[in-house]
A and B are shown apart, each in its own frame.
Chain A
C-alpha cells in the first residue's frame, strides 16, 4: 500500500491546523512522525480517517492512487487502514468480545465463527491482557494503559495493511510500552506498515523506524532515516526550528486535540 499525502490542509472551528502537509508512506516500512505539541500530528491522523470535527480545506490523500478524502471512515478502514486512538473511546454496553467479533466479520466480509475465539485468546495472551476483558464493556472503566493495549489488540485482530498509532506511547509505563511495541513488531513480520506518531523518542527504542518525519506548525518540515531520532533527541525541537528557518507564529496556539 502506498499513501501519498499532497498539500493537505485542514481546520477545526475555522482555525487552520494543517497547512499543506506533504508526506509519503508505505506498507513494508515503519515511519515515525515527530513534532512538538500543537504541530498537527494528531490532526493529521484524524483527517486521514475522516474525523467529523475537522474540515479539509485543500489537498488530497491518495491510497494506491485513489483519493480517500470523500470516503466514509469505515470505507477507509476497509482499505486496510487502522487508527490506534490517542484517547480510545468508551463504548458502554458493548462487550470487547461482541465488538471484536463484529469488527472482524465486517473486515472479512463474512461471519466466521471458526477460530475467532481461539485467535482472540492467543492475542490477548500475547499482549498480557486478562481473558476476563472479553466480557467487559469496551474501554469502559479501563486504565489508560489497558485502553492502549486494547487498541493494539484490535489492530492484531483486524490485521491492517497500514496502521497509524497516535501517541500510543503517551502515559504508558515501561512495561506497557514494551507490550504495545511487541504487538506492532509482531505485525511487522508480514506486509505491514505503520506511522508511529509520538512526541518522544522512547517508543522508537522499541520499534525502530525506517523513516522519520518531523512536523512543525502544520507542515512536515523534514524527513530522514532512523538516525534523525538521535539528532532530535540530542538537540531538541528548537534545533529543527533553527535548522529549517521556521519563525515563531504568534497566532498558532497549542491545540488540545494534539
Chain B
C-alpha cells in the first residue's frame, strides 16, 4: 500500500520548488529558506566528524527520495473530534505517510486552551480563526523554531528544517496539568520516501503533560525519516515524552531532538529504539534555569544487521540543576549499537548534579557495541559521573535458572528482560508490557544472514 505516496518533489534540488508550493506563514517560509541556504552551503557529515565517526552515511544517495506530502484523498480532519468516552488518551493524532488520518482532543482540554493539532491545521486556524489559544500557539511555535534554527549543526538538520513534510504541535497553557497522555502515531509508508516530520511540544509555566510518540512503518518499502522534535518546557512545567521507533529493516531514521528547560522545569525523555536498518537518534536537553531537572532514558534492541547510533546531551547552563541519563540495550546477531553521551556544564552552572550510564548486553559473538561517554565541565563545585559497561549473559545466572526448570531459551529471555527491566520500569506505565513483549519477540527471532 503506497497509494498515498503522492510525492511530487523528488531530490534535494527540488526543495526550493517544494517550499514555494507551501501555504505557510511568512516566518515559517523564511526559516525554510534560511535552512535551504545552509543546506546548500554544507556538505553531508562524514566519518571525519566526531559525532558521525561510527555512522557512515556516504553510501546514501539522498536525491533518490521523494517527499511525502498530504494526499488529496486523505479524510478531512479540519475539526477536532472528541475521543471516545472512557478513552485512555487526552487526544490522538495519527498520520499515514504525510496525511493526517485521525485527530481527537478532549473538548474539556480544548476549552482550557490546550492546542493539539497538525502543524498545517495550526497555521490555517491560527491565521483564519480568531482563536486566542491558536494564535498563542503560533507565537510559541514561531519563537521556538526561530531560536532553534538560528544555526544548523549539520546538513542533515538543515535539510529537515528546509524540507519538513508534516508535523504536530502540543501547546499546554499555564498551570494546566494533564495526566492522561497525548498520543501521536506516525505510520510511514511508500518506497524511496523521505518523511520529515516536525514535532513541537510547548509547555507554558507550571503546565504538565505526557506525550506518547510512535514512529512505525509498513513491512516493506524504504523510508528515510529525518525528523526533528522541538520541546520547550517553561518554568516549573513538566513534560514526559516517550518516543518509540519501529521502522522496517529497509528504512533509516535520523532524529534530532532538542529540549529547552526553564527554571524548576522538568523534562523526561524515554527513547525506545527497535526498528530500522540505520538509525541515528539524538536527544539534546538544555537546562537553562535554576533547579531544572532532566531524565533521559533509552532502551534499544538491535538485531540482524541493524546499525543503531543513539546520542544524548545534558547541557547545564544554570545553577543547581540535575540531570541523569540511563541508556540500556541488547545487541544480537550482527547488529552494531553505538551510544554517545555528553554532559556539558557551563561556567555559571555551579552545584550541578549530573550523571550518565550506558549498559549494553551482547547476546552472541558478532554483535557489537560502542559506548562513548564524555564530560565537558567548565566549573568547579559540580557532581558529575559517567559509567558504561558492555557485557554478555552470565553463564552462572543461566545455569541457576536452568536448575529451576527454565529452558536455555526461556532463561535467556528472562535474563535479557531482567537486564532491560531496570529501564523499562522508567517508561510510562501503559507501554511497559509492550516493551517486554517486543524484547521477548526479538530474542526469539531467528536471523539468517544469507537471506537478502
Contact = CB atoms under 8 A, between A and B. Distances in A.
User: Does A associate with B in a complex?
Assistant: yes
Contact of B422 (A53, A76, A88, A92): A92
B399 A93 contact: no
Interface of B is mostly: helix
On chain A, which size bracket covers the interface? Answer: 20 to 34
A90 B396 CA distance: 10
B417 A94 contact: yes
A73 B418 contact: no
A77 B407 contact: no
Contacts of A42: none
Nearest to A107: B405
B420 interface: yes
Given A92-B418, A94-B414, A83 B406 contact: no
B403 A83 contact: yes
Nearest to A77: B405
A93 B405 contact: no
A73 B421 contact: no
Nearest to A74: B402
Given A94-B414, A94-B417, A94-B418, A106 B397 contact: no
Contacts of A93: 417-422
A85 interface: yes
Interface in A159-208: none
Nearest to A89: B400
Nearest to A87: B396
A102 B406 contact: yes
A255 interface: no
A73 B403 contact: yes
A103 B420 contact: no
Interface string B89-111: 00000000000000000000000
A50 B397 CA distance: 14
Contacts of B406: 74, 102-103, 106
A82 B405 CA distance: 9
Contacts of B394: 89
A154 interface: yes
Given A72-B402, A73-B403, A94-B418, A89 B408 contact: no
B430 interface: no
A73 B399 contact: yes
Contacts of B449: none
Contacts of A85: 400, 403
Given A51-B399, A52-B399, A103 B404 contact: yes
Contacts of B411: 74
B414 A99 contact: yes
B427 to A, nearest CB: 14
B135 interface: no
B404 A158 contact: yes
Interface in B100-137: none
Given A85-B400, A89-B397, A74 B418 contact: no
Contacts of B410: 102, 106
Contacts of B82: none
Contact of B403 (A74, A91, A94): A74
B156 interface: no
A82 B394 CA distance: 21
Counting chain A CB atoms within 10 Å of each CB, the highest count among B394, B401, B406 belongs to B401
Contacts, number: 78
A91 B408 contact: no
Contacts of B417: 93-94
Nearest to B415: A91
Given A52-B395, A99-B414, A106-B410, A91 B400 contact: yes
A216 interface: no
Counting chain A CB atoms within 10 Å of each CB, the highest count among B395, B402, B422 belongs to B402
Counting chain A CB atoms within 10 Å of each CB, the highest count among B406, B410, B411 belongs to B406
Contacts of A50: 399, 402
Contact of B405 (A91, A94, A106, A137): A106
Interface in A86-126: 88-94, 99, 102-103, 106-107
Contacts of B400: 85, 88-89, 91
Contacts of A83: 403
A83 B420 CA distance: 27
Contact of A137 (B403, B408, B418, B420): B418
B327 to A, nearest CB: 15
Contacts of A74: 402-408, 411
Contact of A94 (B395, B396, B421): B421
Contacts of B399: 49-52, 73, 89
A154 to B, nearest CB: 7
B407 A91 contact: no
Contacts of B422: 92-93
A91 B395 contact: no
A72 to B, nearest CB: 7
A116 to B, nearest CB: 15
Given A91-B415, A94-B421, A77 B396 contact: no
B408 A72 contact: yes
A78 interface: yes
Interface in A28-64: 49-53
Contacts of B418: 91-94, 137
A50 B405 CA distance: 13
A97 to B, nearest CB: 13
Contacts of A90: 397
A20 to B, nearest CB: 25
Counting chain A CB atoms within 10 Å of each CB, the highest count among B404, B418, B421 belongs to B404
Contacts of B401: 91
Given A74-B403, A103-B404, A106-B406, 4 more contacts: A77-B405, A99-B404, A102-B406, A107-B405
12 contacts: A50-B399, A50-B402, A53-B395, A74-B405, A74-B406, A85-B400, A85-B403, A89-B399, A89-B400, A91-B400, A91-B414, A158-B404
